[in-house]
């Protein structure tokens, strides 16, 4: 939002006011929230068909809202769908556009409103009728699931327009559990979960807890072979190389705001995929 505030300006020459873009922030954050929740289940099919339908209808409504925003835009952009990307890679992205207006537009900045976009290269001046390109790098290290990124173009008058980039990011590491339940927890209580991790390429994984997570958790790792044909009934003794993880609580830090709910991210480091960010969510309530 800080970037938006610096470019706020009054409506000029009948262009779309910047305030309308700010109103869309709520929709973007909701999309991000829905995407995160969807990804945490990691294909475990815990979401009902009805819930999944609502999720995609929500994304469609957001896209329609975004299309309405661009109705008065001087730019036309070619659709950019990056397909499925592996988490941890850096993808070079090119957006092709055209200034369909009768005026020259001078750009002051171009940026990604969400996490991932960096190193933007764009023309400072776009003449009437001119074709142009915007190039940037999409860092997927902290992305997962379906994404709809708004690439914001801001001119020297503070007016902004949006180009949409969509796709999906898959974590190369699959966990048998993505959400671990603490229940009602009392500080000092022992709590341990046992679950598995593997990858679609059938590579033997080398996992360890991140230094950040080692402050509150500890883990033991052992190599096993799994039968993962039925995600709801994973068994040892199959052919898929996997890691059996025993995760225990060491000492959870209390919330400074006296918040009763507990939400902790447990992060791992994988030598096979060093740029990926495999994570689990631990939830519960303080007694």
pLDDT at 272 over 80: yes
pLDDT band per the 50, 70, 90 thresholds, residue 287: confident
pLDDT band per the 50, 70, 90 thresholds, residue 26: very low
β-strands 279-286, 179-185 pairing: parallel
Give all domains of the chain, ordered by start, each with its CATH number.
Answer: 2-170 (2.60.40.10), 173-286 (2.60.40)
pLDDT at 40 over 50: no
Q: Looking at residues 163-189, what average pLDDT do you find?
A: 94
Q: Which residue has the higher pLDDT, 96 or 16?
A: 96
Give the number of other Cβ atoms within 10 Å of residue 147's Cβ: 22
How far is residue 40's CA from residue 91's CA, in Å, rounded to a whole number? 23
Choose among 85, 278, 81: nearest CA to 169.
85
pLDDT at 164 over 80: yes
How far is residue 209's CA from residue 203's CA, in Å, rounded to a whole number? 19
Q: Looking at residues 2-12, what average pLDDT do you find?
A: 35
8 Å CB contact between 195 and 245: yes
First to last CA, the chain: 36
Token pair 């009054």 in the structure block, residue: 10
Instruction: Work out the angle at residue 144's Cα, subtended by the Cα atoms of residues 110 and 78, and round it to the nearest 5 degrees.
Output: 40
pLDDT at 255: 74
Q: Looking at residues 90-107, what average pLDDT do you find?
A: 97
Q: Is the four-CA dihedral 45, 46, 51, 55 of positive or negative sign?
A: negative
β-strands 235-236, 217-227 pairing: antiparallel
pLDDT at 87 over 90: yes
β-strands 117-121, 235-236 pairing: unpaired
Q: What percent of the chain has pLDDT over 90?
A: 67
* CB-based burial label for 129 (10 Å; 0-12, 13-18, 19+): exposed
Q: What is the 3-state secondary structure (H, E, C) of the chain?
A: CHHHHHCCCCCCCCCCCHHHHHHCHHHHHHHHHHHHHHHHCCCCCCCCHHHHHHHHHHHHHHHHHHHHHHHHCCEEECCEEEEEEECCCEEEEEEEEEECCCCCEEEEEEEECCCCEEEEECCCEECCCCEEEEEEEEECCCCCEEEEEEEEEEECCCCEEEEEEEEEEECCEEECCCEEEEEEECCCCCCEEEEEEEECCCCCCCEEECCCHHHCEEEEEEEEEEECCCHHHCEECCCEEEEEEEEEECCCCCCCCCCCEEEEEEEEEECCCCCCCCEEEEEEEEC
């Amino acid at each position: 939002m800080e970037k938006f505030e610096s470019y706020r300006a009054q409506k000029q020459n009948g262009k779309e006011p910047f305030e309308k873009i700010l109103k869309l922030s709520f929709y973007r954050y909701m999309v991000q929230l829905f995407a995160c929740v969807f990804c945490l289940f990691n294909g475990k099919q815990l979401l009902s068909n009805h819930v999944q339908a609502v999720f995609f209808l929500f994304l469609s409504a957001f896209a329609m809202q975004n299309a309405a925003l661009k109705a008065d835009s001087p730019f036309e952009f070619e659709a950019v769908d990056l397909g499925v990307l592996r988490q941890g890679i850096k993808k070079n992205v090119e957006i092709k556009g055209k200034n369909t207006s009768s005026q020259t537009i001078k750009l002051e900045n171009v940026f990604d409103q969400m996490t991932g976009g960096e190193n933007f290269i764009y023309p400072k001046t776009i003449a009437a009728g001119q074709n142009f390109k915007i190039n940037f790098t999409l860092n997927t290290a902290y992305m997962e699931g379906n994404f709809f990124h708004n690439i914001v173009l801001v001119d020297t008058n503070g007016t902004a327009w949006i180009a949409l980039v969509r796709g999906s990011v898959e974590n190369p590491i699959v966990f048998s559990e993505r959400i671990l339940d603490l229940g009602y927890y009392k500080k000092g209580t022992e709590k341990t979960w046992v679950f598995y991790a593997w990858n679609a390429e059938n590579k033997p994984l080398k996992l360890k807890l991140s230094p950040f997570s080692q402050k509150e958790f500890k883990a033991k790792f052992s190599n096993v072979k799994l039968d993962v044909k039925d995600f709801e009934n994973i068994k040892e003794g199959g052919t898929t190389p996997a890691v059996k993880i025993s995760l225990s609580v060491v000492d959870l830090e209390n919330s400074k705001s006296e918040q009763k709910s507990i939400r902790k991210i447990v992060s791992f480091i994988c030598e096979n995929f060093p740029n990926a960010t495999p994570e689990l969510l631990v939830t519960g309530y303080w007694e």
